[in-house]
Amino acid sequence: MSVRRLIVLIVFCFLLFLGIYTWNARTGKWDALGANVGLEVSSLVLRAVTFVHDTISEAWNRYIYLVDVEAENEVLKKEIADLKLSVAKFSESSHELQRMRRLLHFKNPASWQSIGARVFAWQLGSNDFLESLVISKGFNNGAKVATPLITPDGLVGRVYKAGPFTAIALLLTDPGSSIAVFTSENRVPAIVQGAGINEYLNVSFVKQNVTVSVGEILITSGVDLSYPKGIPVGRVVSVEHGADAMLKIKAEPLVSFENVEEVLLLQNPYEEILPQGSPVYSPRESQFLIPTDKTLEVPEPQPEMDLSNTLEQIDLLNQDILTSPNIIEGNEGNEGIDGDDIPEEQALLHRQNVPNITGLSLVLHAIALPLPTKIKVSLS
Amino acid sequence: MRVQNILWWFSFTFIAITLQSYVAGVDFLIPGFIVLLQERSIKQFLWVTGIFLILQEGMGTMAFGSVLLWYFSAVALFILGKWLFEVQSLAFILLLSIALSATRYAILVLFANLQDLYINESRLFDYSVYQALLMPFLWNIASFTRRGIRHEVEV
C-alpha cells in the first residue's frame, strides 16, 4: 500500500469515526447497543465466575473451615436476644409515631420498595474510569437509570448505566456525584459531592452563620425526589471557615465500599411523573457555579409530556416531602421533623420559583431536572 | 479446525473479562487484538474485533468512541511498526505496549474533556503503566497457546 493511499485511508477512517461519534452523541444508539449487548454478555461471564466462587467458598466454610463456630454461635445467640429487645422497643415507638401522624394529619410518604442485588465487580473494563460497580439487576428487574442503591449502613450511589439484566452504578464518592442532604441534628441543607475513592466527601453550600458539628450524620433531604428522605450518607469529620461566605466541610462515607457485596435498589414511587433522563452525573462545567446574568439553556420539554401538569404534581409532592416524616424506619432522621425544619429559602424556591442563587444552584445540582423554559439568573 | 479456533477465542474472552473484573483499568482483550493483527485473517479480524469493541464499550462508563479510537490506533501503530520491526518479536511487542499505553492515556484524557467527565489523571497514569507492563506478558501467553491454531488459520 502506498503512502498516499494510507493517508487517504486514515483520513477516511477519522471522518467515519467523527460521523459515528456525532450520530451516537445525538441518538445514544451505540451506547444503548453496548449496554444491551456488551454489558449483558460480560455479566454472563461474571455470573458464571461468581457462581463458581460462591460454590467453592460455601463448601469451604460449611464443611471444612469450622474453627470457632461454637464460640460464634454463642455470640450470635446473645446478639439475637439483644435485637429482640430492640425490636420490641422500636415497635412500640413505631406505633406511637403512627398515632402521632394520624393526630397531626400527616400524609404517609409514598413508599420506596426495595429490591436486592448482587455486586459483581468494581470498575469493570478498561473504559470505566468513574467510581462504579456492576450489579446483578438491570432495567428489566429494578435497576433503571438513577435508581438509588443503599446498604444497611447508608447510601451507596445511583444506577448510571443499565442493561436489561445488569447495571453499572455510580458511587457517591465519584466527583460527578452530587446529593442534596440535611445535617441530622441542625437540619442544615447542603450538597454532598464525591472527591474520589478513599477521599473525604465535600459538603458544599453551607453558610458560615449556621451550626454544623463534627460527628453529625448527613441524611438525604429528598427534595430532588431522586432519593427518599433520611438515608444516611456520611459523617462530618471537619468544619472550617473558608475564605468565602461558605463553610468548608468534609465528611466520610458511612458505607465501606470495598466490602459491599449486596445492595438494595430503591424503587422510586415518583418515577412516573418525573421527566425521563434525570442525569445521575454532574458534569464538571456545571459544578455549583452559575455566572451572574447568564441565561441557562435548558432542554425543551418532551412533546409527549404534559409538563404543566407534571410540574404541578412535583410541586405538590415536594410540599408533601418537605412536610413529611422520614420513611426509613429506625433512622435518627425520623425524629422531630416538622414544617420548621425546612429552611424558608428552599421552601420559597420550590413553591414560587424565586431565582435565588444559592437555592437555585442547590436545586439545579441536586434535582438536575430539565426545566421547561429558559431561566434568567441574576444576582441582586 | 474452526471449532478449535472459536473455542480458543471464547476461552480467551472469558478469561479476559474475568481478569478485568479483578484488575481495574487494564484492557485484557488488547493482547488478543494484537494476535489478530499478526494472524492477518480479515474475516476473523472483523468478527473478533466487532465483539471486543461491543464488550469494552458495554462494560465501560464512558460514552462511545474511546475504545474504537484506541483499537484503531493499535492498528495504525502495528502497521507503522511493521515497516521497522519483525512483528512476532518481543522487542516489537514491548515498544508497541508502551506506545499503546501512552496513546490510551492521551485518548482517555481527550475523551474525558469532550464528555465533561472528572478523571483522576494520576490514577489513569498508573493504569497505563500496568497496561504497558502486563501487555507483553499476556501477549506471550496468548501467542504461545495459539501456536497450533494459528497454523490452521493461516492455511
DSSP notation for A228-280: -TT-EEEEEEEEEE-SSSBEEEEEEESS-GGG--EEEEEEPTTTTTSPTT--S
Q: A288-292, B16-20, B39-43: lowest mean pLDDT where? A: A288-292
Q: What is the band of B97 on the pLDDT scale with cuts at 50, 70, 90?
A: very high
Between CA A167 and CA A145 the distance in angstroms is 8
Q: What is the pLDDT of residue B153?
A: 56
- Is it the case that residue A277 has pLDDT exceeding 70? no
Smallest CA–CA separation between A166 and chain B, in Å? 10
Between CA B106 and CA A227 the distance in angstroms is 37
Q: What is the pLDDT of residue A90?
A: 86
- Is it the case that residue B49 has pLDDT exceeding 90? yes
In Å, how far are A182, A203, A232, A338 from A236, measured between CA atoms?
11, 9, 12, 23
Between CA A79 and CA A86 the distance in angstroms is 10
Partners of residue A133 on adjacent β-strands = A122, A169
Phi-psi region of A111 (alpha: psi -120 to 50; beta: other; left: phi over 0): beta
Q: What is the band of A134 on the pLDDT scale with cuts at 50, 70, 90?
A: very high
Neighbours of A308 (CB within 10 A): 10
Partners of residue A114 on adjacent β-strands = A266
The conformation of residue A300, written as its DSSP 8-state character, comes to: P
Nearest CA in chain A to B67: A127
DSSP assignment of B87-112: TTSHHHHHHHHHHHHHHHHHHHHHHH
CA angle A68, A74, A76 (to 5 degrees): 100
Tell whether A123 lies on the interface with B, counting CB pairs under 8 A.
Answer: yes
Write out pLDDT tens, residues A184-199. 888 899 999 998 888 8
Q: Which of A241-250, A341-350, B4-13 has the highest mean pLDDT?
A: B4-13
Q: Which residues contact B104 (CB under 8 A, 6 or more apart)?
A: A126, B27, B70, B128, B131
Smallest CA–CA separation between B56 and chain A, in Å? 6
Between CA B2 and CA A276 the distance in angstroms is 47
- Is it the case that residue A8 has pLDDT exceeding 70? yes
Query: Which amino acid belongs to residue B110?
Result: L
Q: What is the band of A307 on the pLDDT scale with cuts at 50, 70, 90?
A: very low
A105, A134 in Cβ contact below 8 A? no
Q: Which residues in chain B touch residue A283, judged by CB atoms under 8 angstroms apart?
A: 116-117
In the numeric block, the cell 439545579 is attached to A364
* Mean of per-residue pLDDT scores for chain A: 74
**Secondary structure element (H or E) that encloses residue A178, with its range:** strand A178-183
Distance from the Cα of residue A307 to its chain's centroid: 24
Q: What is the pLDDT of residue A354?
A: 32
Between CA A321 and CA A222 the distance in angstroms is 7
Q: In a mutagenesis test of the B interface, which of A24, A50, A127 is the best target, namely the one with the most B β-carbons within 10 Å?
A: A127
- Mean pLDDT for the stretch of residues A235-255: 88
User: Would you list which residues of chain B are within 8 Å, Cβ to Cβ, of chain A?
Assistant: 13-14, 17-18, 20-22, 24-28, 30, 54-69, 72, 76, 79, 104, 108, 112, 116-120, 123-124, 127, 131
Decide if B57 and A123 are in contact by the 8 Å CB cutoff. no
Partners of residue A314 on adjacent β-strands = none
The conformation of residue A148, written as its DSSP 8-state character, comes to: E
Helical axes B90-114 vs B66-84, angle rounded to 10°: 150
Query: Which amino acid belongs to residue A15?
Result: L
Between CA A156 and CA A169 the distance in angstroms is 9
**Secondary structure element (H or E) that encloses residue B72, with its range:** helix B66-84
C-alpha cell at A318: 415536594
C-alpha cell at A314: 412535583
Tell whether A45 lies on the interface with B, counting CB pairs under 8 A.
Answer: yes
Q: A16-30, A199-213, A273-287, A342-356: lowest mean pLDDT where? A: A342-356
**A261 exposed, middle or buried (CB, 10 Å; 0-12, 13-18, 19+)?**
exposed
Q: What is chain A's Cα-based Rg?
A: 24
Q: Which residues in chain B touch residue A125, judged by CB atoms under 8 angstroms apart?
A: 20, 27, 56, 59-60
Give which of B51, B26, B39, B32 is closest to B138, Cα–Cα.
Answer: B32
- Is it the case that residue A83 has pLDDT exceeding 80? yes
ipTM value = 0.86
Between CA A148 and CA A224 the distance in angstroms is 12
Whether pTM > 0.80 for this model: the answer is no
Q: What is the band of B151 on the pLDDT scale with cuts at 50, 70, 90?
A: low
Q: What is the pLDDT of residue A273?
A: 66
- Mean pLDDT for the stretch of residues B78-102: 89
Between CA A346 and CA A371 the distance in angstroms is 17
CA angle A6, A12, A15 (to 5 degrees): 145
Decide if B58 and A35 are in contact by the 8 Å CB cutoff. yes
Q: A32-36, A123-127, B144-148: lowest mean pLDDT where? A: A123-127
Q: What is the pLDDT of residue A328?
A: 40
Q: What is the pLDDT of residue A338?
A: 38
Helical axes A3-27 vs B66-84, angle rounded to 10°: 170
Q: What is the pLDDT of residue A219?
A: 92
Q: In a mutagenesis test of the A interface, which of B14, B28, B64 is the best target, namely the one with the most A β-carbons within 10 Å?
A: B64
Partners of residue A218 on adjacent β-strands = A183, A234
Give residues 128 to 147 of A whose Cβ lies within 8 Å of B.
128-130, 132, 134
B23, B131 in Cβ contact below 8 A? no
Q: What is the band of A371 on the pLDDT scale with cuts at 50, 70, 90?
A: very low
Which residue in A17, A31, A37 is closest to B63 by CB distance?
A: A31
Position with higher pLDDT, A125 vs B41: B41
Q: What is the pLDDT of residue A276?
A: 57
